[in-house]
Chain A
Amino acid sequence: AQSVAQPEDQVNVAEGNPLTVKCTYSVSGNPYLFWYVQYPNRGLQFLLKYITGDNLVKGSYGFEAEFNKSQTSFHLKKPSALVSDSALYFCAVRDNSGSARQLTFGSGTQLTVLP
């Protein structure tokens, strides 16, 4: 069975500094990985995904994620954080069983960007 872990419940970073939100995964077979963002009382918004190819994936709003197979990680990054990036971030991994069940989500990381 697949699983994903987000080891940090809360990440604080100063505006303008780089940010990293961590994610590690466990799957059998090829990993397919996703990042989502959720603002208060809103649905999740898709940011980016890794399927295959280049280990650095670029997504929406200036976010990118780095796939590292040896460390089984898929950390979300942004070179310069904005206050408006403050939100709840979820990492997800695809179910490789082939069923439509598809995504298993991590527990979420609350990012706060301090002005």
Chain B
Amino acid sequence: EIVLTQSPGTLSMSPGERATLSCRASQSFNSRYLAWYQQKPGQAPRLLIYGPSTRATGIPDRFSGSGSGTDFTLTISSLEPEDFAVYYCQQYDSSPRTFGQGTTVDIK
């Protein structure tokens, strides 16, 4: 099983700042099968980025993804008020498909 470890657990930021979220895998996998999701309280997750740098439909370009092998990054270039949420990475390269434990981006 590929274990995904996200860091930091919580990121306290101010609107307008740049946020960098990390997702590290216990073993290398094809980056084509890496996705990032955003979840706000009381809502279902939403696909942000996949493959690992393609934005999903309707996702603003302040969100970007990068990485390969075992190290992946989600960057939010300038935080908007609606970006404060929990972010999960997920690999769907091998079974079982696994999620990271999540990074909470909250308002400082």
Are A and B co-members of a single complex? Answer: no
